[in-house]
Amino acid sequence: MTDLDGDVHVSPRYLAGSISTGDLGLQPALDAGWQLTFDDLGNAYIQAPDQRVRIGFMPEGDDDALWKIAAYQHQFARPQWAAAFSSDAPTELVTALTTALVDSYQKDGDSFLWGGLGRADDPHPVLAPLADADWAVSDDWWRREMTAPDGLAGAWYRRGTLDPDAELTSNDTRWGLWGGPPRVGWYAVFSTHTPATLISAVANAVVDPEPALRWSGYLSLMTRAHARITPVRPPAPTPRDIARTHARSAPALRTVSVPRWSTTSTPSARLPGPARAAARR
């Protein structure tokens, strides 16, 4: 998998924002040999060999969802489930989902369509990573909400009957995550039948304590205003690095010009001054 690089660490990672390309989110599917295509606007689409999983990276899409991911019982069916991430959602969250999705597709039969943790109406196992990170819980008959300690990220699970078509085309979904202050943050949404293992993988990525790597020049205003940003420290030099640095900085040895023997010179001409004088005597 392609590794991120950058000159700053950003934490918590749910405030890191997106990177400028879709490489990291698409890489698990590319590594599995899935087909990649582009449209004439530069949007990227990748699908499983049997076309039952589709992933779209759509910077030129018709709404604010940068990523759209869906699974199908067969290639002409309506989606069994759908997920979407907005344009500033941290790319690590997308990668967490696509990694788990590709792994499920390759190893577990149809679990990418149906697999999950616990009952469909039980959010506790799915959102357990957030609870373990001390996110506050608000619960009633219709909705469970969880909020990060700093108030800058959250999650929801909606109970009751939802419009199945609206879930596939809007943010009126069963599951959701968000980060950043209101109106300038990001969201991730998942329809009712999204496998709970995939949502849980994203939840784990949200609370992962490892800071995100970013290039400082590409940080959003939201990230600059609310996240902790620290420069990346270069790795400690190895003994070989120290030796090379010393070799580059050491003064060059001066060469001494030594006259060569000449066929026209006499032995006394080639001796040092005092020796020549003694020879002449």
pLDDT single digits (tens) 196-245: 999 999 999 999 999 999 999 999 999 999 999 999 987 656 666 556 65
d(CA 65, CA 70): 13
Q: 21-37 pLDDT, tens per residue?
A: 899 999 999 999 999 99
Contact 69, 56 (CB under 8 A): yes
Is the pLDDT confidence value at 93 over 50? Answer: yes
Q: DSSP alpha helices (H): ranges in 108-163?
A: 111-114, 128-132
Phi, psi dihedral angles at 55 (to 5 degrees) = -125, 130
46 DSSP 8-state letter: E
User: What pLDDT does residue 258 have?
Assistant: 43
Contact 47, 55 (CB under 8 A): yes
User: What pLDDT does residue 122 have?
Assistant: 81
d(CA 12, CA 250): 44
Q: What integer best gives the mean pLDDT of the chain?
A: 85
d(CA 219, CA 223): 6
Contact 177, 203 (CB under 8 A): yes
Tell me the residue type at 175: W
User: What pLDDT does residue 238 have?
Assistant: 61
The two tokens of residue 165 are 């078509």
Side-chain-side CA neighbours of residue 73 (13 Å): 5
216 DSSP 8-state letter: G
Which residues lie below 8 Å from residue 127, measured CB to CB, with a gap of 6+? 144, 146, 155, 157, 199, 200, 203
More confident residue, 5 or 49: 49
Residue found by looking up tokens 């990649």 in the block: 36
Is the pLDDT confidence value at 86 over 60? Answer: yes
Q: 51-85 pLDDT, tens per residue?
A: 999 999 999 998 999 999 999 999 899 999 999 99
Q: 110-124 pLDDT, tens per residue?
A: 888 876 555 566 899
Is the pLDDT confidence value at 279 over 70? Answer: no
253 DSSP 8-state letter: P
Angle at which helices 91-107 and 23-31 cross, to 10°: 10
User: What pLDDT does residue 253 have?
Assistant: 47
Q: 249-260 pLDDT, tens per residue?
A: 555 545 444 444
Is the pLDDT confidence value at 271 over 80? Answer: no
